[in-house]
Chains A and B, each alone.
Chain A
Amino acid sequence: MSGAVVIGVAFAYLCLLFAIAYWGDKRADARRSLIAHPAIYALSIAVYCTSWTFYGSVGRATQTGVGFLPIYLGPTLMAALWWLVLRKMVRISKTHRITSIADFVSSRYGKSTFLSGLVTVIAVIGIMPYISLQLKAVSASFTALVEFAAPGSTPGLPLPGADTPFHADTALYVAAILAAFAILFGTRHIDASEHHEGMVAAIAFESIVKLLAFLAVGLFVAFGLFAGPGDIFRQAAERADLARLFTMPDAGAIGDFVALTLLSMLVILCLPRQFQVSVVECVDEVHIKRAMWMFPLYLLLINLFVLPIAFAGLLTFQPGTVHPDLFVLALPLSQGHQFLALFAFIGGLSAATGMIIVETVALATMVCNDLVMPVLLRIEGLNLAQRRDLSRLLLAIRRWTIVVVVLLGYLYVRLIGQSFALVTIGLVSFAAAAQFAPVLLGGIFWRGATRAGAVAGLMGGFGVWLYTLLLPSFARSGWLPVGFVDHGLFGFALLKPYALFGLSGLDPITHSLIWSLIANLGFYIAVSLASGQGAIERIQAALFVDVFRPSGEAGGGRFWRGTAPVADLQELVGRFVGEEAAARAFALYAAERGLDLALQGEADADLVNFAERILAGAIGAASARVMVASVAKGEVVGLQEVMEILDEASQILAYSQKLEMKSKELEQATAELTAANERLKELDRLKDDFVSTITHELRTPLTSIRSFSEILHDNPELDLGQRQEFLRIVISESERLTRLINQVLDLAKIEAGSLDWDIRTLDVAEAVRAALTATQRLAGDKGVTLTVDLEAGAPPVPADRDRLIQVMVNLLSNAVKFAPPDKGRIAVTLAATPEGVRVSVADNGPGIPADHHEAVFDKFRQVGDTLTEKPEGSGLGLAISRTILEHLGGRIWVESRPGEGATFNFVLPRAV
């Protein structure tokens, strides 16, 4: 087939693509989007399948059997999590108008320009091999098609080498053409956040073409060349060198399988072009649902014939005559099917161009927005910020970036490409892209991740990748001394790039992946934990991680339809974040948009939203909304917000309820304290009264004693009879005083517990008789009759004899005191009861009203009010009696009705 035909067809195809893209853009402008369909979205994600898939998978299969599959199984697995992960990234990107993966990362970590630059550099360097892979594939397939397409002839192994002069190197022309197309496709518009709808449409179309082309070749090989796939495997099984590919040879191969699965899981999210099509170009996040199974299905279909083609190639060609990477072309060519081969070439071209266009557009955006512009804006001499129209400059930067990136790819393929198979080159890029995974995934799920952690993680991971993958590949191609690969850096064996720290026996990719991810994750997590977040960082972290929280959902200013005075807004924000910080933030906002807020007066929805976001970082999203609502006019608070505010309010309510409970407890404690204080005061008053009463009781006899002593002293002329009478009074009152003092002391002793008790089991009747003997004369003097009835055989009880007699004497003298003179009768009885021994002393005195039955036992309480004569006695007798009986385990009480006398009873319990 002549080169002109191939070139003509290829150009025609590229022009068709451009027409589709143009049409797509026109439709987008007319708001009748061509790509607003989930299937288109899924097909555009299939840009994942590049010439690596189209040509390289077969080559890989000829070496490792199923070793090519993890690259597709990983994304299949990850697709199951897209609803969790990819949807979140899409939502965040829409909310924050993210334009690239570098933008995403830097925005998450506090809008750091250093970080976005770092991501960009890593992406450009990391993706360079991947682009070179496409160039190599296209030029090799072109060469194969043109030079070795004679019917019957066998294509050789003519990959362009360093010895080929530049002007004769197909890859150079391929690079130039593809760069031109990438520029045409990707850099016609300037606002990167707008969708490249035409480009996406073209990519989707290409995905269909490459799938159909590969399936066509597969069907031809399986059923045209052989009698079905079963036939191929049967023939292969007969050859030992091929049959070994039917299984994975050892644990190492399985380990590589697992590692590559993990790797491709990560890169389906992290490759700049995948981020471009699946996140930036996503027009509706619902499309993700369909893509979640359509994309894996696409992967399955395009890989269906890889193994049959690989084995067919191995069975058809002599080893070493045809590079396995070109079996897809060589098999139809060898059978003279030139048009099928041409179709296959177009399929491969689709795969390569799709990748290069999207990748370079993504990289160009990053380089322009995140690397070049920040630098240019800082060079004051350029005065760039003052320029009104920067769009032409931006376009120029992006176009040149595409040229440079593709050129770098070309250089890589020219310098290193021939030493490696397609897949190996691609995997080097994969390992680089995987370095974005921790900062990307950590950024949307881990609020605590910091900018410093992200920088450290990226640098660590990228450094290890450079040392263990990229530099050795330069060395092995002769562009660096190979010594450090074989013996380690400076001769340290531990630093061997393919066996770092002694970890050997692994595929270089797996090896690098392990070490780079360990370094990346390790630095990322450790530094994040060790460092703090700035204010903007914290706000961004919250906005990213909580993007699905309803107020985050509202996201852009569109939720606010109203306006608010700028000054009010700034003052409000200042109240929470500090006046200075607020002024700075507003100035920054104005500068970014080229506004003069001082002239504006009323803030637009964007600014209101901006203020709310700052506030949200300080006081929580819901409260921020309420605060902003207080100064903003316009329709705002929806049901969701109300729910949220209620939620926060209910927390506050819970706190206040706790507070209320505490204050109630406090009140209660106070009340208890007050009560205790009252009791103490009462006790104090009682003691005071007691002392006052004692004083009275002591002063009364003392008064008589002193008076008569003075009378006797001052009147020596008094007659003997009168003298005798007065002296008798003095003596009697002295006795009364003594008795009183003794009783007070007794009571005090008993109450203080310091009285000596002599408790033994005794006969109560005997003690009663002793007491009667002591009081007989008293009763006789007053003419009171005593009747005694002591039951014989009452059981002995434990008691103190002297105290018991004291009680009896008290009761008897009381009875005598109240019994009417001469007609008085006192009955003393003793009886055994189930309880113990009961003693009663009954008199026929005036009796005691029922409401005094308890009070008579109080100290100094005399119930003699009804009497004209004041009864003798201290008023302590009954109190002492009760105290004694209680100490002995018994009790005392009175039974009486006014006018019918009183009966005092006490009971002493039996010995236990």
Chain B
Amino acid sequence: MPHRRTRQRALRLVRQSSVTARLVGVFLLGAFLFLPPLLRVFNAGGFLAGFPLLYVYLFLAWAGLVAVMALAIEGDPPSGIDG
């Protein structure tokens, strides 16, 4: 039914634009995490569980960002990955 197909296409478009919006959000989050001023805050020195604070922060933030990115992309229902 052409009508249904149109609806599906519209849905897909909506979903795609929301994926794009989410990804831009992830990018902004990353920029916030890895750039001053937050970077400066964790550059103060000190240790966390025996590791230098800055190292722990950077790697944890990095890992977190990758996880969020994976969620933003793969959390989508399969039909969203058809382009």
Q: Which residues of A contact B (CB under 8 A)?
A: 65-66, 69, 73, 76-77, 79-81, 83-84, 229-230, 233-234, 237, 246-248, 254, 257-258, 261, 285-286, 289-290, 292-293, 296-297, 300, 304, 307, 639
Chain A nearest CB, measured from B6 CB (Å): 7
Known A230-B51, A233-B51: A76·B30 in contact at CB below 8 Å: yes
Asked whether, in the complex, the Cβ of B58 is within 8 Å of the Cβ of A66, the reply is yes
CB < 8 Å neighbour of A248 from B19, B43, B49, B82: B43
A285 — which chain B residues lie within 8 A by C-beta?
Answer: 83
Asked whether, in the complex, the Cβ of B69 is within 8 Å of the Cβ of A289, the reply is no
CB < 8 Å neighbour of B52 from A81, A246, A257, A289: A246
Nearest residue, chain A, Cβ from B6: A639
- Give B21-61 interface residues, CB cut-off 8 Å to A: 23-24, 26-27, 30-31, 34-36, 39-40, 43-45, 47, 49-55, 58-59
Q: Which residues of B contact A (CB under 8 A)?
A: 2, 5-6, 19-20, 23-24, 26-27, 30-31, 34-36, 39-40, 43-45, 47, 49-55, 58-59, 62-63, 65-66, 69-70, 73-74, 81-83
A73 — which chain B residues lie within 8 A by C-beta?
Answer: 30, 34, 58, 62
Asked whether, in the complex, the Cβ of B52 is within 8 Å of the Cβ of A293, the reply is no
B62 — which chain A residues lie within 8 A by C-beta?
Answer: 73, 76, 296, 300
Known A77-B30, A247-B45: A292·B52 in contact at CB below 8 Å: no
A237 — which chain B residues lie within 8 A by C-beta?
Answer: 47, 52
CB < 8 Å neighbour of A247 from B20, B27, B43: B43
Asked whether, in the complex, the Cβ of A230 is within 8 Å of the Cβ of B73, the reply is no
Asked whether, in the complex, the Cβ of A79 is within 8 Å of the Cβ of B55, the reply is no
A229 — which chain B residues lie within 8 A by C-beta?
Answer: 51
B19 — which chain A residues lie within 8 A by C-beta?
Answer: 83
Q: How far, in angstroms, from A355 to B13 measured CA to CA in the complex? A: 38
Q: How far, in angstroms, from A239 to B19 measured CA to CA in the complex? A: 48
Q: How far, in angstroms, from A563 to B49 measured CA to CA in the complex? A: 72
Asked whether, in the complex, the Cβ of B58 is within 8 Å of the Cβ of A292, the reply is no
Q: How far, in angstroms, from A102 to B5 measured CA to CA in the complex? A: 40
- Return 20 A-B CB contacts under 8 Å, by A number: A65-B54, A66-B58, A73-B34, A80-B23, A80-B24, A84-B23, A233-B50, A233-B52, A233-B55, A246-B52, A247-B43, A261-B34, A261-B35, A290-B74, A296-B69, A297-B66, A300-B66, A304-B59, A307-B55, A639-B6
Asked whether, in the complex, the Cβ of A246 is within 8 Å of the Cβ of B55, the reply is yes
B58 — which chain A residues lie within 8 A by C-beta?
Answer: 66, 69, 73
Asked whether, in the complex, the Cβ of A80 is within 8 Å of the Cβ of B66, the reply is no
Asked whether, in the complex, the Cβ of A84 is within 8 Å of the Cβ of B50, the reply is no
Nearest residue, chain B, Cβ from A304: B59
Chain B nearest CB, measured from A549 CB (Å): 13
B5 — which chain A residues lie within 8 A by C-beta?
Answer: 639
Asked whether, in the complex, the Cβ of A234 is within 8 Å of the Cβ of B50, the reply is yes
Asked whether, in the complex, the Cβ of B26 is within 8 Å of the Cβ of A80, the reply is yes
CB < 8 Å neighbour of B31 from A65, A66, A77: A77
CB < 8 Å neighbour of B70 from A261, A286, A293: A293
A257 — which chain B residues lie within 8 A by C-beta?
Answer: 39
Chain B nearest CB, measured from A118 CB (Å): 31
B51 — which chain A residues lie within 8 A by C-beta?
Answer: 229-230, 233
Q: How far, in angstroms, from A254 to B52 measured CA to CA in the complex? A: 17
CB < 8 Å neighbour of B69 from A79, A247, A304: A79
B54 — which chain A residues lie within 8 A by C-beta?
Answer: 65-66, 246-248
Q: How far, in angstroms, from A296 to B34 measured CA to CA in the complex? A: 14
| Interface residues of A, dominant DSSP | helix
Chain A nearest CB, measured from B55 CB (Å): 6
Asked whether, in the complex, the Cβ of B82 is within 8 Å of the Cβ of A286, the reply is yes
CB < 8 Å neighbour of B50 from A83, A230, A248, A261: A230
B44 — which chain A residues lie within 8 A by C-beta?
Answer: 247
Chain B nearest CB, measured from A588 CB (Å): 33
Asked whether, in the complex, the Cβ of A83 is within 8 Å of the Cβ of B20, the reply is yes
Q: How far, in angstroms, from A182 to B27 measured CA to CA in the complex? A: 36
Asked whether, in the complex, the Cβ of A292 is within 8 Å of the Cβ of B35, the reply is no
Asked whether, in the complex, the Cβ of A84 is within 8 Å of the Cβ of B45, the reply is no
Known A247-B45, A286-B81, A293-B66: A258·B36 in contact at CB below 8 Å: yes
Q: How far, in angstroms, from A93 to B73 measured CA to CA in the complex? A: 23
Chain A nearest CB, measured from B50 CB (Å): 4
Known: A230-B51, A293-B74. 16 other contacts (CB 8 A): A76-B62, A80-B24, A81-B27, A83-B19, A230-B49, A247-B45, A247-B52, A247-B54, A286-B81, A289-B73, A292-B69, A293-B70, A293-B73, A296-B69, A300-B62, A300-B66
Q: How far, in angstroms, from A138 to B54 measured CA to CA in the complex? A: 32
Q: How far, in angstroms, from A80 to B73 measured CA to CA in the complex? A: 10
A65 — which chain B residues lie within 8 A by C-beta?
Answer: 54
Asked whether, in the complex, the Cβ of A300 is within 8 Å of the Cβ of B59, the reply is yes
Q: How far, in angstroms, from A230 to B66 measured CA to CA in the complex? A: 24
Chain B nearest CB, measured from A258 CB (Å): 6
CB < 8 Å neighbour of B23 from A83, A297, A307: A83
B53 — which chain A residues lie within 8 A by C-beta?
Answer: 246
Chain A nearest CB, measured from B24 CB (Å): 7
Asked whether, in the complex, the Cβ of A296 is within 8 Å of the Cβ of B65, the reply is yes
A286 — which chain B residues lie within 8 A by C-beta?
Answer: 81-83
The 10 tightest CB contacts between A and B, nearest first, are A80-B27, A246-B52, A293-B70, A230-B50, A80-B26, A293-B69, A77-B30, A296-B66, A73-B34, A247-B43
Chain A nearest CB, measured from B39 CB (Å): 6
Chain B nearest CB, measured from A316 CB (Å): 19
Q: How far, in angstroms, from A361 to B58 measured CA to CA in the complex? A: 35
**Counting chain B CB atoms within 10 Å of each CB, which of A229, A247, A257, A300 scores highest?**
A247
Chain B nearest CB, measured from A416 CB (Å): 32
CB < 8 Å neighbour of B36 from A233, A246, A254: A254
Known A286-B82, A286-B83: A77·B27 in contact at CB below 8 Å: yes
